[in-house]
Amino acid sequence: MSTKAIYRISSLDGLRGISILLVIIDHAFTSNFKNLKIGELGVGIFFVISSYLIISFLLKDLDSRSFSIRKFYFKRILRIFPAYYFFLAITFGLIFYLDFFNFEHFWRPLVFLENYHPASLWKNNWLIGHTWSLAAEEQFYIIISILFLIFKNKNTPRKGLLISFLSMFILASLFRGGYMIFDNIPVYLKGSVYRSFETVMDSFAIGGLIALFTIEKLKNHIVISYFRNKIFLLIILIFFIQFLNSPFIREIFGLKVRFIYNTIGLPVIYIVIGILLVLSVSAQRNTFLYKVLNSKVLSFIGLISYSLYLWQQVWLYNWEIPLIVKLLGIIFSALISYYLIEKPSLNFRNKLLLKYKK
């Protein structure tokens, strides 16, 4: 069995490709999409996908009694660290050269805590500010590994995980709403809404719930069946809810609409993303959705999406260079990162995993 067969699921590369394209388009044309915040939407899609995959693999290990915290962290470290710290090394060198460096602003990415760095306190932080989403991802890995350690020897481990994911889903809305209502909250929490783990954990919870119920069971659910040929309605619903959090709407209706968005809107968006994930993974080969997600260009973008994510924000800084040069720079840097750092690391990891599995 090839290593690719173990770790890749058909159509998800295409969905990742859409996710990273939303982020890049948003950062490249910030003024055009400020009312939709499509970059945040792209990150939300990525969180749901990532959680679904991680929990699915861990559940398989749990069922086969092969769950190991050491194996889990070995896989995650070799997946994330090499390309990430290569990016930080190059970027920090650039920051020193430009005389941007301030340790108060740049220590957090080193330890995956950028998501607790309020944007209001940023100073020349754009080049590495996007690492907040990777920080949230790493925090999810820690929490989920603890949950699996707690429940792996229980008679009904899935029940414990189900309660945990449902709790995460509900509590995220309460945190977002509470940070809006109460004033005596530390700035690193109140100013980190949509980035701090507790305010985005409902996206991870949705991915975990899909993994628990499995695509095979969910694909025949009445809701999934209803939307199978109505995907466009789901997309319209997502963008309509996103628009509720736009500066345009807030200027007209005030913060009450934003409170609704935080407590009700975002959970609905993540549920809809979850439905789209189930539809994508279960799509038949002759359908339009399958053909789009498995197109060569979109699949390749998804394949190198991690490296694209790392390097896009460096190039999309307000350098006085044409946009086409910035976009080519993103592609060039991502290809170097993927083929020289990321892919060799993954191949090394997968070979070791196959070797010890035998």
pLDDT bin (cut points 50, 70, 90) of residue 169 is very high
pLDDT at 31: 79
Position with higher pLDDT, 350 vs 22: 22
- 30 confidence band (pLDDT: 50, 70, 90): confident
CA dist 203 and 169 (Å) reads 8
- Give the pLDDT score at 97: 86
Q: What pLDDT sits at residue 5?
A: 39
Task: Give 6-72 as a DSSP string.
Answer: HH--TTHHHHHHHHHHHHHHHHHTGGGSTTT-HHHHHHHHHHHHHHHHHHHHHHHHHHTT---HHHH
Over the stretch 297-323, which tens digit does the pLDDT of each residue have?
Answer: 999 999 999 999 999 999 999 899 999
| Exposed e or buried b per residue across 187-222, where buried means at least 16 C-beta atoms within 10 angstroms of its C-beta | eebbbbbbbbbbbbbbbbbbbbbbbbeebeebeeee
User: Mind listing the pLDDT tens digit for each residue in 134-148?
Assistant: 999 999 999 999 999
- Choose among 53, 34, 64: nearest CA to 214: 53
pLDDT at position 357, please?
66
Banded pLDDT at 179 (limits 50, 70, 90): very high
**Model confidence, pTM:** 0.94
